[in-house]
């Protein structure tokens, strides 16, 4: 299976794409995205037939707020931060998209412009489809439309949760929540992140993140060295996180399963 160079929305960065091969008699290719896996077999096969597999590159900007959406993404291994800009500069993460979701859900609502800045936070793969065939597939597949309608509801709930979390919860529990969200989407206890990036994501000064990270290390919940994070005690980290983490997971499970 060969790779081809594919231009992104902004026109000045590139990702490497891998085109989907024909289906075999053995079965469908590995999907690893929950929204696609929810589809009936025939709908899933048709949908994958018009997708291409792309590699998400760490720190690449996939879309800018207000830019026209040319592709939607269904991550499998990689994951994407949704960042809200203030005065033209992205300053605060309000959501994260991994194998549980999709980037470009506004297309389901008939809106072509991206509402948020989308930044690759974890490298990996994703299924990608251009907006025109995606709209046709939405009209064709009732199962796809139903799944994405439910996902839009989950996204609305999670955005509201993020706003309340920022206002009422302290940095330590918020950091624990963010690390759990990242681990879920990285599919690994090990991932890379710097204090500067954490401060950017949480909307706080670096010194606050450093203090909170040191406390989590002292409790034996994580190990942090030169930007590499290892979750040592998943259950303890969940206990240290604010209630928003469990609430968001419960909402997704109730609505999407």
CATH code, domain carrying 12:
2.60.120.10
Q: How far apart are CA 15 and CA 8, in angstroms?
A: 7
Q: Are residues 152 and 191 in the same domain?
A: no
Q: Are residues 92 and 61 in the same domain?
A: yes
Tokens of 137: 């597939």
pLDDT at 21 over 90: no
Q: Are residues 93 and 217 in the same domain?
A: no
User: Pick from 118, 134, 162: which residue ends a domain?
Assistant: 162
Write down the pLDDT at residue 155.
Answer: 95
The answer to whether residue 257 sits within a structural domain is: no
Hunting for tokens 């996939």 — which residue is that? Answer: 62
The answer to whether residue 253 sits within a structural domain is: no
Write down the pLDDT at residue 177.
Answer: 96
Write down the pLDDT at residue 27.
Answer: 52
The 10s digit of each residue's pLDDT in 199-238 is: 877 888 888 888 999 999 999 999 988 889 999 999 999 9
Taking residues 99-105, report their average pLDDT. 97
Q: Are residues 221 and 114 in the same domain?
A: no
The 10s digit of each residue's pLDDT in 54-98 is: 999 998 999 999 999 999 999 999 899 999 877 766 578 889 999
Taking residues 167-177, report their average pLDDT. 94
Domain range for 192: 170-241
The answer to whether residue 250 sits within a structural domain is: no
pLDDT at 130 over 50: yes
Indicate which CATH number applies to the domain containing 213: 1.10.10.10
Q: Are residues 41 and 61 in the same domain?
A: yes
Q: How far apart are CA 251 and CA 78, in angstroms?
A: 22
The answer to whether residue 248 sits within a structural domain is: no
Write down the pLDDT at residue 205.
Answer: 84
User: Pick from 133, 162, 191: which residue ends a domain?
Assistant: 162
The answer to whether residue 43 sits within a structural domain is: yes
Q: Answer yes or no: are the C-beta atoms of 237 and 222 closer than 8 Å.
A: yes
Write down the pLDDT at residue 257.
Answer: 81
Q: Answer yes or no: are the C-beta atoms of 93 and 160 closer than 8 Å.
A: no
Q: How far apart are CA 53 and CA 226, in angstroms?
A: 31
pLDDT at 3 over 80: no
Q: Are residues 204 and 118 in the same domain?
A: no
The answer to whether residue 20 sits within a structural domain is: yes
Of the two residues 2 and 139, the one the predictor is more confident about is 139
Q: How far apart are CA 9 and CA 60, in angstroms?
A: 11
From the list 184, 147, 156, the residue with the least C-alpha distance to 47 is 147
Residue 229 makes CB contacts below 8 A (sequence gap 6+) with 179, 182, 190, 191, 192, 193, 222, 223
Write down the pLDDT at residue 202.
Answer: 82
Domain count, the chain: 2
Taking the model in full, what pTM does it have?
0.86
Q: Are residues 57 and 36 in the same domain?
A: yes
Mean of the per-residue pLDDT values of the chain: 87
Q: How far apart are CA 256 and CA 146, in angstroms?
A: 10
What 3-state class would DSSP assign to 74? Answer: strand
Q: Are residues 63 and 190 in the same domain?
A: no
């Amino acid at each position: 299976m060969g790779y081809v160079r594919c231009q992104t929305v902004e026109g000045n960065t590139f990702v490497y794409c891998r085109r989907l091969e024909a289906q075999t008699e053995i079965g469908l290719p590995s999907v690893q995205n929950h929204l696609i896996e929810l589809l009936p077999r025939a709908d899933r096969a048709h949908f994958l037939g018009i997708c291409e597999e792309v590699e998400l590159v760490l720190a690449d900007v996939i879309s800018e707020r207000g830019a026209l959406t040319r592709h939607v993404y269904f991550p499998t291994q990689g994951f994407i931060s949704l960042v809200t800009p203030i005065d033209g500069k992205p300053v605060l993460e309000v959501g994260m998209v991994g194998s549980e979701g999709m980037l470009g859900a506004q297309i389901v609502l008939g809106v072509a412009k991206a509402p948020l800045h989308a930044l690759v936070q974890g490298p990996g793969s994703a299924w990608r489809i251009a907006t025109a065939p995606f709209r046709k597939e939405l009209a064709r597949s009732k199962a796809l439309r139903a799944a994405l309608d439910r996902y839009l509801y989950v996204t609305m709930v999670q955005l509201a949760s993020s706003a309340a979390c920022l206002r009422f919860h302290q940095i330590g529990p918020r950091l624990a929540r963010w690390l759990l969200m990242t681990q879920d989407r990285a599919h690994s206890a090990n991932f890379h992140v710097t204090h500067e990036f954490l401060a950017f994501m949480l909307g706080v000064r670096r010194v606050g993140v450093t203090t909170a990270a040191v406390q989590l290390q002292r409790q034996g919940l994580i190990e942090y060295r030169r930007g590499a994070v290892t979750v040592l005690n998943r259950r303890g980290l969940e206990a240290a996180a604010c209630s928003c983490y469990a609430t968001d997971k419960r909402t997704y499970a109730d609505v999407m399963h």
